Amino acid sequence: MFGLFKKKKIVPEFNFSSIGTDMHSHIIPGIDDGAQTLNDSFLMAKKFKALGYHKLIATPHIMADYFRNTPDTIHRGLDALRNGLKDIGLELEVDAAAEYYLDETLEKKIRQKEVLTFGGNYLLFELSYINAPQNLIDFIKMMQDAGYKPILAHPERYPYYYGAFENYHQIRETGCLLQMNTIALTGYYGSGAKKVAEEMVENHMVDFIGSDMHHLKHAAALEDSLTTPFIENLLSQEQLKNALL
């Protein structure tokens, strides 16, 4: 009887085929906190395909104290994933770069050209969720001087920037691009991240959207994001660069 009163799941009226490319995921198996097995990767890949994506750029974590990936470990994982997708007959283009944590080792990697990029020399990096970086603007300039185009991953997830939206304007005015996690619009990361994500959409400040998919819960949230009131506006904005990758 009580089943009669269950909330009906809303079916999205469109998908992500208009942009086609997801540029932030953790689908390569066994090298960070994303997919742990090749089967995990297959399940995620099938979800991406069902949501309209035809290309993925995997971005495994690189962190000095935790995920010590290198271009070699990432490329070997990418080869295994590509071969696996071919074996199961799933047509999905997959490339790889990395999501670099802003720590004491990143500057050296950049100066020595030991970083993985994608598209037009885009370099994806993330910050601590706890402490605001003291030298972010200088670090962005250093990346640019080295010939890279920095992209700040999921700026809506850094609580120390909440309540002062001018921080996002200041970062973007340096030429640093902003990548929003689409599922933030669903409230997946909490109300603070949701509010910032919505303001970013309203102010046309999102340069890339990414799934940041680690597992199938993220896949479900990504599908749910298609029913949020901001997503259609976001997918139609001219500054969104996913389709160019």
Cβ-based burial of 169 (10 A; exposed 0-12, middle 13-18, buried ≥19): exposed
Residue 33 CB contacts under 8 Å (≥ 6 apart), including other chains: 26, 61, 67, 214
pLDDT by residue (tens digit) across 124-147?
999 999 999 989 999 999 999 999
User: Structurally, what CATH architecture does the domain formed by 17-244 represent?
Assistant: Alpha-Beta Barrel (3.20)
Render 16-73 in DSSP notation, one character per residue. Answer: STTT-EEEEE--STTSSSS--SHHHHHHHHHHHHHTT--EEEE--EE-TTS----HHH
Q: Where are the domains of the chain?
A: 17-244
CB 137 within 8 A of CB 174: yes
Q: Which stretches of the chain drop beneath a pLDDT of 70?
A: 1-12
pLDDT at position 13 is: 75
pLDDT at position 1 is: 47
